[in-house]
A and B are shown apart, each in its own frame.
Chain A
Amino acid sequence: MIRAKLSKLLKWRPQLSNGLHYIALLTVCATFVLIIAGALVTSNGAGDSVPDWPMSFGRWLITSDHFIANVRFEYSHRVIAGSVGMLTLILAVFAWLRESRVWVKRLALAVFGLVIAQAVIGGIRVHYPGYKAEIAIPHALVAQSFLALIVSLVVFTSRKWFEPIGSISDKPALSLRSLSAVTTIAILVQLVLGAGFRHQAFGILPHVFGAVVVGFLVFLTATLTLTRHKESYLQRPAMAVIGLVVVQIGLGIASYYARLASINDPQPLEPMVSLTVAHVATGALTLTAMVVLTLRIYRVLSPAKATVELASREATV
């Protein structure tokens, strides 16, 4: 009997794996905390406070006399990163065992690969403190890409994703599918430009230009979504992303002026630190909302061109 139960358990392959969804959701939350922890490291100038890697001061678990000053930020960042890595491993294993869609399995594995790459880039950053800007930028890019992919997994494993949805045709003029994809990429690029400015790889101008472009694209995408489609499935993320961008622009201006005002401070101080961290966190949330919106648009809307061709064929018949 036990054997039969075990056999049944091993053969269990549900189409909808709630467990995978919740693990992905937990990983997204942990990643968000990790991004905040990373922003605290950068904003407090704590990036090189622990000179070795992968261990910290030659140990995996440091003692309380080491856990002081800026080491608190750097070591916490490492511990949270380790937790995210473990969660991602669990996610990948769970997806491999329980998920029936091969592409979701591969995506979960790719995400795990990305978290490993991110850890190694972080390690290189520690070992080469002289090249902090050059290494910190890819570190930020991989961090945000990782977040986007984990958010994608949450969407792909959500209950709503499996529900039958009537196909709605996208419009050929200003296709929401294309526009949302471009906007998502623009937000990702803008987050990297922000990291470049924070790590002093370049000045503020690229980030300001990026803010104008992203602001316009988000406004356009969200407005078109809200005016063309009344489904809450699309309206909610559209409203979220536009609200987050408004908050984000305000935080960006505030954190920049706080940085200017603190330029001769002997150390990173408030309110510059909190404003910068809030700006980074809101940036991550904006990307999250935009990824959700984009994937839902792709789920709900059929390609405009295909629809036109189909309509044309039907007319011919």
Chain B
Amino acid sequence: MSMIRRLCLLAAVAVLLGTVGCGNKPDEGGPGTNDNSTSGANFKPTGNEGTISGKVNFNGDVPKAKTIDMSNDAYCAGKHSGGATSDAITVNDGKFQDVLVYIKSDGLSKYKFDTPSSQVVLDQTGCMYAPHMMGMMTNQQLSVKTSDQTNHNINAIAPNGDGFNEAQGAGAPDKKVKFAREEVIPVKCNQHSWMKATIAVFKHPYFAVTGKDGSFEFKDVPPGTYTIVAFHPNYGEKTATVTVGNKESKTTDFTYSGNPTQAELIAPSGLALADPFVISMPVAHHH
């Protein structure tokens, strides 16, 4: 956000004093508005598509997982009788888990991609988000559910006015929402301040979150030259340029090392972030 915009907002607070009842969503581009269409034609596989795959590695000592204090909610603490620790930085035998890997959209601007009819699910279970790093396509349905018998609030801070902050108690219906633009959305539960997740929204289907083996794979990639981005909230991003020919399979690996370098979530390449001040800290898993 530019300094000018921030100053304007500061000045606008006086004007806003009488407008609280107006609701909490700016008019611009609410859910369902689609501004992500490109000038290109709908993508139809020709049989010449290739594959890009690889692994995300982590060299050196892995930072020790931090302990989470859940004592402010007996339900949450009871779900982790052995104690809970952060799994923001999860490395298995040198393979880096939960890294977002994607193709930058500018290399795919001549195509339009159909929105999947399937929904993606973000669950609140054991007072943690599962998964805590996820990707989805624009206008795909996100369902935020709770499996917990305690209260949460879902605070999704989207850059284009698609954000929301709603309470979700035990047994409450799922929160269904769509995001219209490419963006990265930090999600927080402010009631349990250790609960943080990151949702990345893309115009195309070429994104993945690395699993335990640190691997990723994009199938049916149209021939061309692309920038591949690997992004981790605490370690930032790494990029690689890959050219895929007809029916080619290309491999590209990424390697991270050292201590976490970022305390704040920055916008990964090609994705908008609502508020550069939103801290994305580690999330938790239980033992």
Contact = CB atoms under 8 A, between A and B. Distances in A.
Contacts of B67: 266
Contact of B165 (A51, A68, A264): A51
Interface in A256-296: 263-269
Contact of B260 (A121, A123, A124, A264): A264
Interface stretch (A28-36, A128-136, A176-184): A128-136
A85 to B, nearest CB: 15
**Centre residue among A50, A66, A129, A130 by max chain B CB count within 10 A:** A130
B283 interface: yes
Contacts of B188: 45, 48
B68 A201 contact: no
A135 B18 CA distance: 14
B165 A70 contact: no
B277 A124 contact: no
Contact of B10 (A51, A137, A267): A137
A138 interface: yes
A47 B190 contact: yes
**Centre residue among B72, B191, B193 by max chain A CB count within 10 A:** B191
Contacts, number: 126
A268 B63 contact: no
Given A51-B166, A132-B275, A133-B277, A266 B73 contact: no
A123 B16 CA distance: 10
B interface: dominant SS: loop
Contact of B69 (A50, A65, A117, A267): A267
Contacts of A65: 151
Contacts of A71: 151, 191
B281 A120 contact: no
Contact of A264 (B68, B163, B193, B234): B234
Interface in B155-198: 155, 157-158, 163, 165-167, 188, 190-194
A5 B18 CA distance: 44
Contact of A68 (B17, B72, B234, B274): B72
A57 B169 CA distance: 10
A266 B284 contact: yes
B279 interface: yes
Interface of A: 44-53, 57, 65-66, 68-72, 74, 117, 120-121, 123-124, 127-135, 137-138, 199-201, 263-269
Interface of B: 6, 9-10, 13, 16-20, 23-24, 63, 66-69, 72-74, 76, 86, 88, 150-151, 153, 155, 157-158, 163, 165-167, 188, 190-194, 234, 260, 263-264, 274-275, 277, 279, 281-284
15 contacts: A45-B193, A46-B190, A49-B190, A49-B191, A52-B167, A69-B73, A70-B190, A71-B191, A121-B17, A124-B20, A130-B158, A132-B277, A138-B10, A265-B281, A267-B194
